[in-house]
């Protein structure tokens, strides 16, 4: 099996407080042969927006975990409102995904799991290989809590769905999730976790893939997804 490799050109988030932060570089199946001038523009934008999103992720964590005095909370609120007013001056007419579609490296920047610009994204860093396997090591903190001390089950499902998508995409079978079945074996504790995903079988336009979450006490949740090859991809492969 070829070693799993991350997509080049991405760096670790710089935030000091990990909410559900990455332990490796981000992987997403986008063009890697961009012209040098376009690649430089993309990297410059990443350098500008990444620190803001990192700070916003830490702010989310502190909204949950900070225990400062009320006056400090009010002062912080005023500072946040000032920042919001500054950013609100110019608003996009389309989402990053809509604007860049499948051909642009900025497309996943708004993704709620791996998005560089999305502060609700952990963001996960996924490594994958063409055999149809994917893996990620990450940390889920207080903002993702459901039951006391445990990751919310809906968050677990969200993360599994994303990594399953990386597995099928890496094998040249990118697909939309048709069905997703989750079996929760035990509570998933907040803290350091791992997800592994792999393709189980293929049939026509359908790909079955499986994945599991691993915590300090073993597997906490298992998933099986059926992914449907989009019509546009099918037509491209047959043309």
Greater model confidence, 25 or 167: 167
Long-range contacts, stretch 45-51, CB < 8 angstroms, 24+ apart: 45/106, 46/10, 46/116, 49/109, 49/116, 49/117, 50/11, 50/13, 50/14, 50/116, 50/117, 51/14
Name 71's Cβ contacts closer than 8 Å, sequence gap at least 6. none
User: Can you read off the two tokens belonging to residue 26?
Assistant: 């981000």
β-partners of residue 198 are 133, 210
In this prediction the pTM is 0.85
| Residue 189 clears pLDDT 50, i.e. is over it | yes
What would the pLDDT profile of 115-130 be if each residue is shown by its tens digit? 999 999 998 999 999 9
Name 12's Cβ contacts closer than 8 Å, sequence gap at least 6. 22, 24, 25, 125
| Residue 95 clears pLDDT 80, i.e. is over it | yes
Q: CA 127 to CA 197: how far, in whole Å?
A: 10
What is residue 207's predicted lDDT score, i.e. its pLDDT? 97
What angle is formed at CA 196 by the lines to CA 206 and CA 6, rounded to 5 degrees? 95
Integer CA distances (angstroms), 60 to 15, 18, 95, in order: 12, 11, 22
| Residue 9 clears pLDDT 50, i.e. is over it | no
The pLDDT-based confidence of 190 (bands split at 50, 70, 90) is: very high
What is residue 118's predicted lDDT score, i.e. its pLDDT? 95
Residue 188's domain spans which residues? 1-239
The pLDDT-based confidence of 40 (bands split at 50, 70, 90) is: confident
User: What is the number of structural domains in the chain?
Assistant: 1
| Residue 16 clears pLDDT 70, i.e. is over it | no
Q: Are 167 and 210 in contact (CB under 8 A)?
A: no
Greater model confidence, 29 or 208: 208
- Mean pLDDT, residues 219-239: 87
Q: CA 149 to CA 189: how far, in whole Å?
A: 6
| Residue 15 clears pLDDT 70, i.e. is over it | no
| Residue 173 clears pLDDT 70, i.e. is over it | yes
Q: CA 112 to CA 92: how far, in whole Å?
A: 17
DSSP state of 152: -
CATH number at residue 167: 3.10.129.10
What is residue 103's predicted lDDT score, i.e. its pLDDT? 54
What would the pLDDT profile of 45-59 be if each residue is shown by its tens digit? 999 999 999 999 999
What would the pLDDT profile of 110-165 be if each residue is shown by its tens digit? 999 999 999 999 989 999 999 999 999 999 999 999 999 999 999 999 999 999 99
Task: Determine the number of helices (DSSP H) and then strands (DSSP E) in the chain.
Answer: 5, 6
Q: CA 152 to CA 128: how far, in whole Å?
A: 25
């Amino acid at each position: 099996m070829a070693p799993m490799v991350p997509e080049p050109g991405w760096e670790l988030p710089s935030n000091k407080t990990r909410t559900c932060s990455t332990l490796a570089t981000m992987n997403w199946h986008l063009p890697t042969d961009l012209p040098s001038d376009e690649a430089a523009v993309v990297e410059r934008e990443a350098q500008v927006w990444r620190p803001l999103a990192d700070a916003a992720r830490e702010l989310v964590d502190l909204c949950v975990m900070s225990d400062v005095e009320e006056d400090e909370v009010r002062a912080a609120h005023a500072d946040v409102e000032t920042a919001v007013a500054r950013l609100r001056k110019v608003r996009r007419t389309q989402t990053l995904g809509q604007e860049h579609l499948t051909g642009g490296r900025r497309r996943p920047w708004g993704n709620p799991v791996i998005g560089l610009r999305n502060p609700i994204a952990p963001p996960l860093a996924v490594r994958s290989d063409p055999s149809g396997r994917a893996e990620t090591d990450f940390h889920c903190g207080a903002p993702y809590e459901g039951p006391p001390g445990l990751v919310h089950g809906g968050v677990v499902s969200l993360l599994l769905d994303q990594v399953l998508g990386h597995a099928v995409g890496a094998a040249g079978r990118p697909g939309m999730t048709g069905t997703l079945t989750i079996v929760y074996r035990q509570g998933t504790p907040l803290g350091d976790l791992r997800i592994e995903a792999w393709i189980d079988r293929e049939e026509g336009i359908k790909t079955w893939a499986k994945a599991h979450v691993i915590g300090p006490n073993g597997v906490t949740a298992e998933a099986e997804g059926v992914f449907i090859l989009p019509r546009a991809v099918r037509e491209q492969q047959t043309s």
